[in-house]
Amino acid sequence: MLDRILCSKRTSPQKLGKRSTDLLLGGLLVLAALLPALLIAFVLRFMLHNRALYRQTRVGWRGQTFQMYKFTTMMVQEDDHEIRIADDESDPRITSFGRWLRRYGLDELPQLVHVLHGDMSLVGPRPFPLDQDRRLRELHPLYTRRQVVRPGITGLAQLSSSRDPKPVREDVARLVALDLAYTEHCSLTLDVVILLRTAVYLLRGQDKGSKYEHSHHGFQRTNRH
């Protein structure tokens, strides 16, 4: 029902086109990222003696959960089964190498596999851990409507806010507004714009967050916080 309401502008061919784009572009990105990913895994495991990958249960499409993989950016013990996400970039657990990975978005390279598998899309709302997802549901009545599309590695909200929103109503309301704006206006053109902007920020080594916000007239530049 929500899929028909929020994505009414998307026809079946458009939905098929988005999935086809994910498979084609995602496959090319996987091939391009293979060597860098192997080098990152080698550094983490054999030079820093840290776990190369960590997995965490995330809530995605239609509220379904999946195990999301990322490169480890914090020092963890081998017996840590669930790693608490960093509160911010000043978290002391984040290593120097991990901070560099996060700066260029390289810690998220393993998520390309989720795109090919169908758990995620290149562009879409950010999937959150179970506990955080539960808190966000409680803070905003429309939060679950953002889950009518596959979660994405990047998206409107990711470009306009920090990696993880603070659990306050103002931040959550902004997150939901941006994600619902995407579900209502999702198109191949919008995906391309988001991907290009993401690429520019990452190549510059900039945080994806706090750059653009959605307005009634489109997208406007905002100041960094």
- In this predicted structure, what is the pLDDT of residue 222? 36
Residues 13-45, buried b or exposed e (16+ Cβ, 10 A)?
eeeeebeebbeebbeebbeebeeebeebbeebe
- In this predicted structure, what is the pLDDT of residue 218? 39
* Count: domains in the chain: 1
Q: Which domain holds residue 201?
A: 2-221
pTM of the model: 0.79
pLDDT (tens, 9 = 90+) of the chain, 225 residues, equals 334 434 545 555 566 788 999 999 999 999 999 999 999 999 999 999 899 998 999 999 999 999 999 999 988 654 454 555 555 556 677 899 999 999 999 999 999 999 999 999 999 999 999 999 999 999 999 999 999 999 999 999 988 865 555 556 778 899 999 999 999 988 889 999 999 999 998 888 765 554 433 333 333 333 333
Determine how many CB atoms are found less than 10 A away from the CB of residue 185. Answer: 15
